[in-house]
Amino acid sequence: MSQPKIAVDLILKKLTESTEQVKTRAQKASEVL
């Protein structure tokens, strides 16, 4: 049962990373505009 938990942790980690990238991209876009 530990395998799915690790997968969920990886998915959550990637989600948080992608949201951080989206935030930085949005900030850069607003600066450019």
Sequence ranges of the domains in the chain: 1-32
> How high is the pLDDT of residue 1?
54
Question: What average pLDDT does this structure show over 3-8?
Answer: 79
Say what percent of the chain tops pLDDT 70.
88
In the DSSP assignment, the letter for residue 33 is -
Give me the pLDDT at residue 6, please.
Answer: 82
- Tokens found for residue 23: 């935030």
The string of DSSP letters for the chain reads -HHHHHHHHHHHHHHHHHHHHHHHHHHHHHHH-
**pLDDT band at 2; cut points 50, 70, 90:** low
Burial tier of 19 (Cβ tally within 10 Å: 0-12, 13-18, 19+): exposed
